[in-house]
Amino acid sequence: MNEAKVLNSIRLSSDSYQKLNEMLEVIAKTDIEAKVTLSKLLSFIVIEYSQKYFDRSLEKITSLYRDKKKDAAKKIESMSEEQLASVLKYLEKMEMGQTKGQEAAHG
């Protein structure tokens, strides 16, 4: 294995941290001789994931973590005045609870 790098700024969600600990418990119960630490398990997972799944997940990852406000601002900048007026009108209707789907349900 390569030289270890210490990364103190990585934060995991509580769900991720819980899952890692659950995996460590299963490993320990499966083979008491296996000396797997949290760092070793994370290193293994990252290498395995990058080799087998990353390319297939790339679009989903970028979509989940894209700056939605920045994307919306870019789309708004490229809109014509007519398109922008239509969007604003739709947003006003949404605020009042009068979008087409809601009108059909209430009408």
Q: Which residue has the tokens 């398109």?
A: 83
Q: What is the pLDDT of residue 4?
A: 82
Mean pLDDT of 84-107: 76
Q: What is the pTM of this model?
A: 0.60
Mean pLDDT of 24-39: 95
| SS3 label, residue 79 | coil
Q: pLDDT over 90 for what percent of the chain?
A: 62
Region of 97 on the Ramachandran plot (φ > 0 left; ψ -120 to 50 alpha; else beta): left
Would you tell me how many other CB atoms lie within 10 Å of the CB of residue 43? 15
Q: Is 104 a residue whose pLDDT tops 70?
A: no
Phi, psi of 24, deg, nearest 5:
-60, -40
Q: What is the pLDDT of residue 102?
A: 54
Helix, strand, coil percentages in the chain from 3-state DSSP, rounded to 5: 70, 0, 30
Mean pLDDT of all residues belonging to the chain: 88
Q: What is the pLDDT of residue 81?
A: 92
Domain ranges within the chain, ordered by starting residue: 14-65, 79-106
Q: Extract the tokens encoding 59.
A: 């679009």
Q: Extract the tokens encoding 64.
A: 């989940």
Mean pLDDT of 15-32: 96
Q: Extract the tokens encoding 98.
A: 């009068």
